[in-house]
């Protein structure tokens, strides 16, 4: 082969490689938002790539950031632990649907107290996070933990500093427990916390609690387990002490009326039932209905979600998430008919 032909061959091979790389990149699924769902999205994404070769590029930036990115069209889908209102969806020509459910759990770093030993109730949690209770040996905490030796250690509150659906659900629960909290602080993805330290993302809150003596925060259960942090049991609405687990999250989730809720807008904190975890939460996927800008990207994302509903239950359960029931996933996939390329559905699931 002449030197000139070698150059041509090398150039052609390089261009071919570039085209392959571009094709693979174009096939990747882009999303951003909720850090609550990030552990199971990571597990699903790895399994899906192994089966299909298609990768999930998901940015765990908080629900607020995910909503902004999907509204701007920089990602194909957003994920939020706070559902959007009917007006917000309509204004941006979007729909939302549930992807998974789980539990938000108080986590702590208390001298001499092991994971799962501490018991809290809603009222005590409110007074810790509003700054009324400032020490771990406070009489209110001791009354719930008569058999536990609690230190005279200052409480350091840690909260999410970024816009977060985890914060929305946590403060939604505190607002249901306390009218005063509801009036003065309220429930949203970001609130004016009376006390404490802010940390960015679920990862940031977990790390700050882990590194701060006397700290308490709130997080999705998988992050607490992964970081080997202390986690509290809770007294639920039925007055029963419950442990965070797949069973107690599922008990709370079972009360959700997805079929009767417009735009699947159901918040599942404070659900009744002897075995219900009181701070259960859901994550919604948010996506535009006009898929004409990038039909392949929308079809790829919906194909991935369809695969999750059919194949992702075991991976969800392994991380203590509650998978969406089959009857609900069928309702969800019917709602996808609103996502169109021109006048044709972007994706049609096989029922």
Q: How many domains does the chain have?
A: 2
Please report whether residue 211 resides in a domain. yes
CB 132 within 8 A of CB 174: no
CB 288 within 8 A of CB 78: no
Residue 37 structural domain: 3-100+282-345
Same domain (yes/no): 297, 254:
no
Helix (H) or strand (E) holding 32: strand 29-33
Asked which of 264, 298, 315 is the last residue of a domain, the reply is 264
Instruction: Give me 350's structure tokens.
Output: 């096989």
Residue 4 C-beta-side C-alpha neighbours within 13 Å: 0
pLDDT tier for residue 351 given thresholds of 50, 70 and 90: low
Same domain (yes/no): 95, 113:
no
The residue assigned the tokens 């009354």 is 143
Please report whether residue 351 resides in a domain. no
Please report whether residue 269 resides in a domain. no
Task: Give me the chain's average pLDDT, please.
Answer: 91
Q: Are strands 197-199 and 156-160 parallel, antiparallel or unpaired?
A: parallel
Please report whether residue 160 resides in a domain. yes
Helix (H) or strand (E) holding 234: strand 233-235
Asked which of 219, 237, 264 is the last residue of a domain, the reply is 264
Same domain (yes/no): 53, 129:
no
Instruction: Reduce the DSSP state of residue 224 to 3 states and report it.
Output: helix
Same domain (yes/no): 96, 108:
no
Q: What is the pLDDT of residues 60-80, one digit of tens each?
A: 999 999 999 999 999 999 999
Q: What is the pLDDT of residues 247-304, one digit of tens each?
A: 999 999 988 888 889 999 999 999 999 999 999 999 999 999 999 999 999 999 999 9
CB atoms within 10 A of CB 234: 28
Same domain (yes/no): 78, 194:
no
Same domain (yes/no): 52, 123:
no
Same domain (yes/no): 298, 333:
yes
Percentage helix, strand, coil for the chain under 3-state DSSP, each rounded to 5: 45, 20, 35
Stretch 177-187: mean pLDDT = 98
How confident is the model at residue 27, as a pLDDT? 64
Instruction: Give me 277's structure tokens.
Output: 């975890």
Same domain (yes/no): 110, 212:
yes
How confident is the model at residue 24, as a pLDDT? 36
Same domain (yes/no): 48, 144:
no
Please report whether residue 272 resides in a domain. no
Please report whether residue 314 resides in a domain. yes
What CATH number corresponds to the domain at position 309? 3.40.190.10
Asked which of 219, 236, 264 is the last residue of a domain, the reply is 264
Same domain (yes/no): 118, 83:
no
Same domain (yes/no): 190, 172:
yes
Same domain (yes/no): 108, 206:
yes
Please report whether residue 156 resides in a domain. yes
Please report whether residue 273 resides in a domain. no
Strand partners, 231: 107
Q: What is the pLDDT of residues 201-250, one digit of tens each?
A: 999 999 999 999 999 999 999 989 988 999 999 999 999 999 999 999 99
Closest CA to 197 of 143, 246, 154: 154
């Amino acid at each position: 082969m002449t030197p000139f032909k070698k150059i041509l061959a090398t150039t052609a091979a390089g261009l071919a490689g570039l085209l392959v790389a571009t094709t693979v990149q174009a096939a990747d699924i882009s999303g951003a938002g909720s850090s609550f769902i990030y552990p199971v999205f990571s597990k699903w994404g790895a399994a899906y790539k192994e089966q299909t070769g298609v990768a999930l590029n998901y940015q765990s930036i908080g629900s607020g950031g995910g909503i902004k990115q999907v509204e701007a069209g920089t990602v194909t889908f957003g994920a939020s632990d706070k559902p959007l209102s009917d007006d917000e969806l309509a204004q941006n020509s979007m729909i939302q649907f549930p992807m998974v459910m789980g539990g938000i759990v108080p986590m702590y770093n208390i001298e001499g107290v092991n994971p799962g030993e501490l018991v809290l109730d809603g009222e005590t949690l409110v007074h810790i996070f509003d700054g009324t209770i400032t020490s771990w040996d406070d009489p209110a905490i001791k009354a719930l933990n008569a058999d536990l030796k609690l230190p005279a250690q200052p409480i350091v509150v840690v909260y999410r500093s970024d816009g977060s659906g985890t914060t929305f659900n946590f403060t939604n629960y505190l607002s249901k427990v306390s009218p005063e909290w509801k009036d003065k602080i309220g429930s949203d993805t970001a609130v004016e916390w009376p006390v404490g330290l802010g940390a960015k993302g679920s990862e940031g809150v977990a790390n700050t609690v882990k590194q701060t003596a006397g700290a308490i925060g709130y997080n999705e259960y998988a992050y607490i387990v992964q970081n080997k942090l202390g986690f509290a049991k809770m007294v639920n609405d039925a007055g029963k002490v419950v442990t965070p687990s797949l069973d107690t999250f599922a008990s709370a989730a079972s009360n959700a009326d997805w079929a009767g809720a417009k735009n699947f807008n159901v918040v599942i904190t404070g659900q009744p039932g002897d075995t219900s975890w009181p701070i259960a939460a859901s994550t919604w996927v948010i996506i535009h209905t006009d898929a004409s800008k990038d039909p392949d990207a929308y079809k790829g994302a919906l194909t991935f979600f369809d695969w999750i509903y059919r194949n992702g239950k075991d991976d969800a359960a392994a991380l203590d998430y509650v998978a969406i029931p089959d009857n609900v996933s069928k309702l969800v996939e019917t709602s996808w008919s609103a996502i169109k390329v021109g006048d044709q559905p972007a994706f049609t699931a096989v029922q």
